Amino acid sequence: MKIFSIICTRNKNLSPVTSKLVHTLSSYGVSVKLLVNQKSIFGAYQRGLDSCDAKDEDIIIYCHDDIEIKTSHTEFIAALAKCTIKETGIVGPAGTTLLSEDAVWWNQQNWQAGYHRGLVSHVKKESGEVYGTHYGPHGQVIALDGLFLAARKEIWEAVGIEKPKYFEGDWDFYDIHYTTRSHRLGYKNYTVPIDMVHHSSGELVGRDSWHNNRKSFIKNTNLPITIK
């Protein structure tokens, strides 16, 4: 089994965080493909998938360029081993067992009600302090956060990487689309224990394209979706 990682980044002059990420993944035996200054995350991810010399059973990781992986090599590979189970769809560090009518996976009420799973650390802008955001115990979920998504190549091909025709924006809501489609195809998505720091506080959620794609997703999806 081989592991590939496809990462979009803004320019060739990599930030310290991105450089460290590439170094970490490479040292873990992951073949890293950096795609610079892309026009669409959907198109970039499709081109990355097509360019991988991967077999159906090999694992493809789609991840942000602003994450830091703290998990050891052994623990990282052990967590990704979940992908090798035939019934498994997509895995990642955080997600939810209930996607409500608003299609926001981190919905605060659902979080308080215990529907969320996983753990991601974040960095406070003011102090640089790292703090853990604990969503809940790891397990099966409906939707996953897009900062890190991993699955076998055959799963990605079944899900389909191309942008849905009803999406307006080229960079938003791909994670919810991919993971809920995996679920609807009958696969089981999971959060897995990969310790990572996300060097972003999610500012892009405020942009119009995110809201427009969310509205289109809601219009074209029967919500809520939950694990039965």
Q: The domain spanning residue 147 has which CATH number?
A: 3.90.550.10
**16 upstream amide cis, omega within 30 of 0:** no
Residue with tokens 């919905």: 107
Compute the 3-state secondary structure of the chain and give helix, strand, coil in percent, each to the nearest 5.
30, 30, 40
Rg (CA), the chain: 16
Q: What is the DSSP letter of 163?
A: P
Residue with tokens 């035996």: 29
CB 47 within 8 A of CB 20: no
pLDDT at 60: 98
pLDDT at 141: 98
- Domain count of the fold of the chain: 1
Residue with tokens 């055959």: 154
Q: What is the mean pLDDT of each run of 10 residues along the chain (228 residues)?
A: 95 93 98 95 96 96 96 98 98 98 96 97 84 95 97 98 95 96 98 94 66 96 93
Cβ atoms within 10 Å of 153's Cβ, excluding its own = 18
pLDDT at 208: 81
pLDDT at 69: 98
- Which phi and psi (to 5°) does residue 175 adopt? -65, -45
Which residues, other chains included, contact 83 with Cβ-Cβ below 8 Å and sequence gap of 6+? 59, 91, 150, 151, 152, 155
Q: Which of 60, 63, 58, 57 is nearest to 7 (CA)?
A: 63
Instruction: Return the structure tokens found at 129.
Output: 């302090």
Cβ atoms within 10 Å of 38's Cβ, excluding its own = 17
CB 58 within 8 A of CB 80: no
Q: How far is CA 19 from CA 37, 65, 214, in A?
A: 16, 9, 32
Q: What is the model's pTM?
A: 0.95
> What domain range includes position 181?
3-226
Q: Are strands 140-141 and 188-191 parallel, antiparallel or unpaired?
A: antiparallel
